Structure 1
Amino acid sequence: MSIEKIKDNVYAITDGSTRGNVAAYVLPSQVVFVDSGMHIPLMKKFREQIEQETGKKASVLFITHAHGDHVFGNQIFEDCQIITSELTHKAMVDSKQNNWTPEALEEWKKNSEDPKALDGLKIVLANKTFADEYELIDGDVKVIIKRTGGHTEGSSYVYCPNYKVMFAGDNLFNHSFPWGGTPTSDPVKWAEAIDEYLSLDAEHYIPGHGSISGKEPLEEFLEYLNKVIALMKDMIAEEKTEEEIIKKADKIEYYPPKEGREQWKKLSLKKWYEVLNS
């Protein structure tokens, strides 16, 4: 686990040790964490180190979306406000009932690269929700969490205008192909979200996966996404088949999926086609 100090008041782990990236914003009187990854001991250590270094206590955990690699460390923050969008909360409740069964969680543990990563795992849901946007103000510092949709319908970003640091969650996979095959993934809303990110007065963007960056990777991804959307819309209007459309869209150049995720691209393109053709 490598903790990056982005600015005096912002820390993140983006080395993959927690699977999904996680971050901490240090405010005048408290610490706000973003996402909890899926390595419980490392998340506990991250919280303890930030609290020790800053002399401030964690009070809030913001959750960007409902996937296990971003929420399976939630139990480390049971004493905090855990805040997420209503749609993400709904998705987590559904997953807890239908997908995150004891048997399924045992499989997650078995397949984890680190056998200790999910020791003692229990699913902890948010205890506060918002519809579209929520603001936390501490002294003269503001932190905003806003739902945009895209990767999932509940996907939200966290932005601190004072520190000029934005946490994008899985709407941003830096330098690799994103996972866009979730049931509520929407390429149009995704493109609109990236456009909004670029309009922010931010210097540092923390992706859900990958390294911290400036605006360039967002511009690259937006250009790619807009090309895919335009191509698919044109070919749908020409009454081309799904197979023809996906085959042609697959040729548009962008970063490949990471090793072991080779199917991500075709499954994502298939989902985006379904959304645009509905």
Structure 2
Amino acid sequence: MSNKINNDFKSYATMNHQKITDTVVFSESSTGSNLACLALEEGLYFVDAGMNTTRASEFRKEMEEKFSMNTLGLFVTHAHIDHFLGMQAFSDVEIIAAKESIPRFERFTNVVFTEEIIENMSKIFPTIKKDIEEAKISMPTIFVDEKQEFGKDKDILFKVLGGHSSCSSEILYQKDKVLFTGDLIQVDVYPYFGEPDTDLKKWVKALLDWESKEEYKFLAGHGKVIDSKYITSVREFFEEMLIVVKELKFTGVSKEEIVEHPKIPKGYWPNTAVRRPPYNFSISQLYDKV
């Protein structure tokens, strides 16, 4: 592949693209999910489409020009809108997601985005008013049940894990030891874990497995590239959160009181991180489950 791949990535500095290996490019985003590109011998695969179709299209075009290859497919780590709203940029290729994501995709393909809906969503996704104008949501073409390998040499493993959502999946690029985590890792922010199908036990199980992969680089759904040591801090936070919320509920602390209770774990994120309503909602949702 070396004759196909140009390693000069300087021109992408202003686009916040990062060369991870000779065959993996990571594009960090401050709005919507991160994007990534994997260059196999036979063509390109992308991970997540973010929220903006134009940005996803431009990233795809840049990578196709850079590697002189065509695109084969898009992997969606999970069916939350900030990871797939830009999927129209990949409408001509295979789109791969977990089988568990079918209900979410069906719901989004049928929804009418009224002004009221968009206004409410903009409280969480500030750019959605602009992003939705060019978006076209469609059903993925391949749904994975548990796990499936991709690439002629089976270099890519798509595995459904659950945790953040029932459809949360990892994409393991075994050749270059790179793992795409989706929102099972949310770097340096207050994490969101408040979906009805969020399962912290499955989440912790996934993190424990990743901790053993010390030689891997981990590309998160949001935030910078991390290593296995960072994952340990995330895992310890969620383990403690589970224990503390369960204990506080048992001792009679109310759902309203628990959100601001001093025993709630401080977390793995920096002091500069902003605490937003979805984090408080996540704690109250966990209270109902334990």
User: 1:127–1:249: structure 2 CA closer, same or farther, 3 Å change rule?
Assistant: farther
By how many angstroms is 1:258 displaced?
4.7
1:25-64 alignment, distance < 5 Å: 25-64=38-77
By how many angstroms is 1:180 displaced?
1.0
Determine the structure 1 residue equivalent to 2:136.
122
The answer to whether 1:167 aligns with 2:180 is yes
**2:226 pairs with one of 205, 213, 226:** 213
Q: How many angstroms apart in 2 are the aligned matches of 1:3 and 1:133?
A: 29
Matched residue SS, 2:108: helix
**1:183 pairs with one of 178, 183, 196:** 196
Matched residue SS, 2:204: helix
**2:113 pairs with one of 101, 111, 118:** 101
User: 1:184–1:222: structure 2 CA closer, same or farther, 3 Å change rule?
Assistant: same
Structure 1 unaligned spans of 5+: none
User: 1:63–1:180: structure 2 CA closer, same or farther, 3 Å change rule?
Assistant: same
AA aligned opposite 1:194: L
Matched residue SS, 1:162: coil
AA aligned opposite 1:59: L
Aligned residues: percent identity?
Answer: 25
Q: How many angstroms apart in 2 are the aligned matches of 1:90 and 1:270?
A: 24
**2:101 pairs with one of 88, 104, 121:** 88
User: 1:96–1:258: structure 2 CA closer, same or farther, 3 Å change rule?
Assistant: farther
By how many angstroms is 1:142 displaced?
1.0
The answer to whether 1:4 aligns with 2:18 is yes
User: 1:86–1:114: structure 2 CA closer, same or farther, 3 Å change rule?
Assistant: closer
Matched residue SS, 2:188: coil
Determine the structure 1 residue equivalent to 2:147.
133
By how many angstroms is 1:113 displaced?
3.9
Q: How many angstroms apart in 1 are the aligned matches of 2:40 and 2:100?
A: 27
User: 1:185–1:57: structure 2 CA closer, same or farther, 3 Å change rule?
Assistant: same
RMSD value, Cα: 2.5
The answer to whether 1:266 aligns with 2:272 is no
Judge conservation of contact 1:20–1:70 (CA < 8 Å) in 2: yes
Residue deviations 1:25-81, cap 9 Å, x none?
111111110100011111111101111111111101111111111101111111111
Judge conservation of contact 1:161–1:202 (CA < 8 Å) in 2: no
**TM-score computed with the length of structure 1 as normaliser:** 0.88
Residue deviations 1:147-182, cap 9 Å, x none?
111111111111111111111011111111111112
**TM-score computed with the length of structure 2 as normaliser:** 0.84
Structure 2 unaligned spans of 5+: 1-14
Q: How many angstroms apart in 1 are the aligned matches of 2:229 and 2:134?
A: 40
Aligned residue pair count: 272
AA aligned opposite 2:141: N
By how many angstroms is 1:103 displaced?
4.6
